[in-house]
């Protein structure tokens, strides 16, 4: 069973303002991951992934994304590292 890729949209809050973020969503079996970043090194594709609760995903009927996430999505903030 391979990894399946989809687009996901989630509500975000930054600096007191709300908005949406669209990210790549991967399913690996029953597990779900948001791909935050990826780079290619030769024949390898390295990915920074954050695991999310697949029970909080809702299939979207829209054309802009495949799923909407109804949980708290905490993504890494590289400038703080």
24 forms beta bridges with: 7, 35
Q: Could you tell me the residue ranges of all domains in the chain?
A: 4-70
What is the pLDDT, as a whole number, of residue 68? 84
Which stretch of DSSP H or E encloses residue 6?
Answer: strand 4-14
| CA dist., res. 50 & res. 43, Å (int) | 23
Is pLDDT at 80 greater than 90 in this prediction?
no
Q: Convert the pLDDT of each residue in 10-23 to its tens digit.
A: 777 767 777 777 78
Say if residues 32 and 25 touch (Cβ distance below 8 Å).
Answer: yes
pLDDT for 78 equals 62
81 pLDDT more than 60: no
């Amino acid at each position: 069973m391979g990894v399946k890729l989809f687009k996901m949209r989630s509500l975000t809050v930054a600096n007191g303002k709300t908005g949406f973020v669209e990210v790549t969503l991967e399913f690996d079996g029953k597990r779900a991951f948001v791909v935050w970043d990826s780079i290619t090194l030769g024949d390898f594709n390295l990915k920074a992934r954050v695991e999310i609760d697949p029970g909080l995903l809702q299939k979207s009927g829209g054309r802009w994304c495949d799923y909407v996430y109804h949980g708290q999505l905490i993504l890494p903030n590289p400038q703080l590292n």
